[in-house]
Amino acid sequence: MISEELQNKYRKYLAKQGKLYTRERESILQSAFAREDHFSADDLYFHMRQEGVDVSRATLYRNLKQMAEAGLLIEADFGHGHTHYERAIEGATHEHLVCKKCGGVTEVRMPEFGEMVRLAAASQNFLIDHYQIQIMGLCSACQKTDATC
């Protein structure tokens, strides 16, 4: 179940856009926030269909984009040819280790790196909304199977 605060934030965003908070939008929001991983629109679409939720791909794509614009989701491009999403959670900034071979994504939290980012932004009087760091390479499993290593 999603929080009232989250629903209200989305309602306010939609109202500014002249749009309504519908049952279908709530269903997409609930499904997106039930995920704790990085997911593509297609991942969420197939999951929702398996759960018996009837939603079109176009509606899902459009609403995920709106949720990102509203600050509820964060969009990320891991080089897989499509956008991934994750929940935007206050204070949960993290970095991503992305395997170039298998496409796996691992989140790592490096508070000291985050502090460096905050100091750099402060030195330029820059207000950070969020940041994304992607470190590309090979995961341990792919290192074992990669003949070039």
Q: Are 62 and 99 in contact (CB under 8 A)?
A: no
Span(s) in the chain for CATH 1.10.10.10? 4-87
Residue 110 is predicted with a pLDDT of 76
The pTM of the full predicted model, rounded to 2 decimals, is 0.69
CATH (residue range 4-87): 1.10.10.10
**Regions in the chain scoring below 50 on pLDDT:** 149
Residue 114 is predicted with a pLDDT of 79
Q: How many CB atoms lie within 10 A of CB 107?
A: 12
- Domain 95-145 in CATH 3.30.1490.190? The answer is yes
